Structure 1
């Protein structure tokens, strides 16, 4: 496969969920069909402290745990013989904001959907919903297999 800068780029959100694994597999298959590359993007956020004053917290362990989970998912889903070039990137920030930024100049954004609905979704909004509403490229939402 040609891995030059002009190859179509597909961004996929990776968060360790079954729908994330399904989205990653879908993105790799699609990249193979169009001669593209995949940017697997994960986001992590430090724990939120509530109260009168937020303590100073060392987030090094949180980032390390997020990085281990991210690389483990990529290794387990992709295996040893991935047919396309996959770039992995873990970013500090809210998942929807991170994915929307990463997909700014992408051919396609692929996200999983955990299928949570009802009251929780109405209050918080889902990452897939935010991506579908605000992405500057087409969005594919993949449900768990």
Structure 2
């Protein structure tokens, strides 16, 4: 059974884009605090592709994982990230959305129903610190709600 999700639909709350970068972890921490302040739902969105997904640990190196195995590996990695950076998550209404989609499309889709979209300044690519990352820039330009871009710690 294919449970791959390609779009995120939310009804209010704070949406944060997460990957395995330090910038995304910082954005997650800011988003969690903002959701607490607003007493709002925190929607953690993790977009993935086969290129960006962590390899499922239980699949031998000689075997190509299924889409569902990749999806579950991404979910487990995202839950680990959330547990590390939102230690008091039980006090939040927190929902994790694992989306097989390019990051900008997943976040822009979620922004249509969100009160606030939070993204990190720099994810995995580009010249760090030079300018906004391409995902953050697309979100700032095209999101349907206010966007908070969290800069790296100095």
- 1:127/1:65 CA distance change after superposition, 3 Å: same
Query: Is 1:106 paired with 2:114?
Result: yes
Given that residues 8 and 34 in structure 1 are in contact (C-alpha distance below 8 angstroms), is that contact kept between their aligned partners in structure 2? Answer: no
Query: Is 1:88 paired with 2:96?
Result: yes
Q: CA shift at 1:86, angstroms?
A: 1.1
Q: CA shift at 1:36, angstroms?
A: 1.3
Q: Please say which structure displays the higher CA radius of gyration.
A: 1
Given that residues 39 and 86 in structure 1 are in contact (C-alpha distance below 8 angstroms), is that contact kept between their aligned partners in structure 2? Answer: yes
Of 138, 142, 145, 2:150 maps to 142
Q: CA shift at 1:47, angstroms?
A: 3.3
Quick one: distance in 2 between partners of 1:100 and 1:11?
10
- 1:57/1:70 CA distance change after superposition, 3 Å: closer
Within 5 Å, give how 1:60-75 maps onto structure 2: 60-75=68-83
Q: CA shift at 1:90, angstroms?
A: 0.7
- 1:134/1:71 CA distance change after superposition, 3 Å: same
Within 5 Å, give how 1:10-89 maps onto structure 2: 10-47=14-51, 58-89=66-97
Given that residues 12 and 113 in structure 2 are in contact (C-alpha distance below 8 angstroms), is that contact kept between their aligned partners in structure 1? Answer: no
Unaligned runs of 5+ in 2: 1-10, 53-63
Normalising by structure 1, report the TM-score. Answer: 0.76
Q: How many pairs align? A: 129
- 1:132/1:81 CA distance change after superposition, 3 Å: closer
Deviates more, 1:56-65 or 1:103-112: 56-65
Given that residues 11 and 110 in structure 1 are in contact (C-alpha distance below 8 angstroms), is that contact kept between their aligned partners in structure 2? Answer: yes
- 1:70 alignment partner, SS class: helix
